[in-house]
């Protein structure tokens, strides 16, 4: 396992960042998200492997593979947050610390968005900070990994 690598996972529809509902998600793109996470991680001595897919199985495979060479996972599951028990089980099964991040404040949106299947396996939760929340999630997860914060 690499003690200095994070897996960054972005779920369905996050490839549309910058064009999809900019009044909710802003104008930053997925490339901006990946660049920010990579820069923050690099400043703290970590690297990032990023994956985005609209296919749940691709995300599950990436999470499973992370147990071999990553120290933690930063994930925005998109809509799978509210629907996917198998995604939650994959995160739990790899036994890596997880940071859950959401661009919008899902607690102030439609009622079906209020429940997260990921919440109970994540040690870090960053919700409603926009794209900047990815930087916050990376910093806080690295603090957990290196022992500067409880997880």
Residues in the chain: 151
Catalytic residue (choose from 25, 28, 117, 134): 25
Clarify whether 102 is annotated catalytic.
Answer: yes
Q: Residues with Cβ < 8 Å from 42, sequence gap 6 or more?
A: none
* 82 labelled ligand-binding: yes
* 76 labelled ligand-binding: yes
Cα torsion 116, 122, 123, 126: sign = negative
Tokens 């998109």 correspond to what residue? 78
* 104 labelled ligand-binding: yes
Contact 116, 49 (CB under 8 A): no
Instruction: Report the DSSP pairing between strands 98-102 and 5-10.
Output: unpaired
Clarify whether 25 is annotated catalytic.
Answer: yes
Question: Is 68 buried (19+), middle (13-18) or exposed (0-12) by CB count in 10 A?
Answer: exposed
* 85 labelled ligand-binding: no
Catalytic residue (choose from 28, 102, 117, 134): 102
Binding site as annotated, residues for substrate? 76, 82, 89, 103-104, 113
**Residues recognised as catalytic:** 25, 102
Binding site as annotated, residues? 76, 82, 89, 103-104, 113
């Amino acid at each position: 396992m690499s003690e200095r690598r994070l897996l960054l996972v972005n779920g369905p529809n996050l490839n549309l960042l910058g064009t999809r509902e900019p009044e909710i998600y802003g104008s930053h793109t997925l490339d901006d998200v990946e660049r920010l996470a990579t820069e923050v991680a690099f400043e703290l001595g970590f690297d990032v492997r990023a994956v985005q897919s609209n296919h749940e199985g691709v995300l599950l495979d990436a999470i499973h593979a992370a147990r071999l060479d990553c120290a933690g996972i930063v994930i925005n599951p998109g809509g799978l947050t509210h629907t996917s028990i198998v995604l939650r089980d994959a995160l739990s099964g790899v036994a890596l610390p997880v940071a859950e991040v959401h661009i919008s404040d899902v607690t102030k949106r439609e009622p079906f968005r209020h429940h997260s299947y990921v919440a109970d396996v994540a040690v870090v939760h960053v919700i409603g900070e926009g794209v900047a929340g990815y930087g916050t999630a990376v910093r806080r997860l690295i603090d957990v990994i290196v022992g500067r914060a409880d997880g």
